[in-house]
Amino acid sequence: METKHQNIPAGWAVCFLAGCRRKQECLRYQAGLNLPDDVETREAVVPSVLKKERCPRFLKTETEHVAYGFTRIFYDVKSRHIADMRSAIRAYLGGRGTYYRYLHGEQALMPEQQQWIRRLFADYGYPGKVEFDRYEDQPRLYATDS
């Protein structure tokens, strides 16, 4: 899976160390390979890490199934529940502005957020499968033990 540059946070170090023995399984190295041609500078892992037994900047390449948008999730919800459920989701996601970014698929819903929304629907008596507008597998950006 290709690591998209727009998914990499600003200030996050990428790696260009072709001599690293774990480069094929490291997210930082994969991100460095996929930098767009117009990127001229970037925070990077330096060669001194190759002298260490374990790279302190290693990030195992793993994916997570994220969702984008939820414009249709209230279709089968009774009108008396919609306002309260929408308000709960808005509070959980951090307010009105972020709610609309998630609603319209401008920001990815992480698996934990998807589960929270599914639990909310179940709590209101809608245990059926909550479907988001679209799904994508993307790199998980977190440190693991190397």
Q: Domain limits of the chain?
A: 5-51, 64-139
Which pLDDT value is given to residue 34? Answer: 83
Which pLDDT value is given to residue 138? Answer: 82
For residue 18, CA distances in Å to 21, 26, 28, 58, 105 come to 8, 11, 12, 14, 36
Which pLDDT value is given to residue 141? Answer: 63
Look up the pTM and report it.
Answer: 0.65
Cα gap 38→78, rounded to integer Å = 50
Which pLDDT value is given to residue 144? Answer: 41
Cα gap 61→110, rounded to integer Å = 17
Cα gap 11→54, rounded to integer Å = 22
- pLDDT, tens digit only, all 146 positions of the chain: 455 566 677 788 999 999 999 999 898 898 888 888 888 888 999 999 999 999 999 888 888 899 999 999 999 999 999 999 999 999 999 999 999 999 999 999 999 999 999 999 999 999 988 999 999 988 776 544 33
Which pLDDT value is given to residue 146? Answer: 38
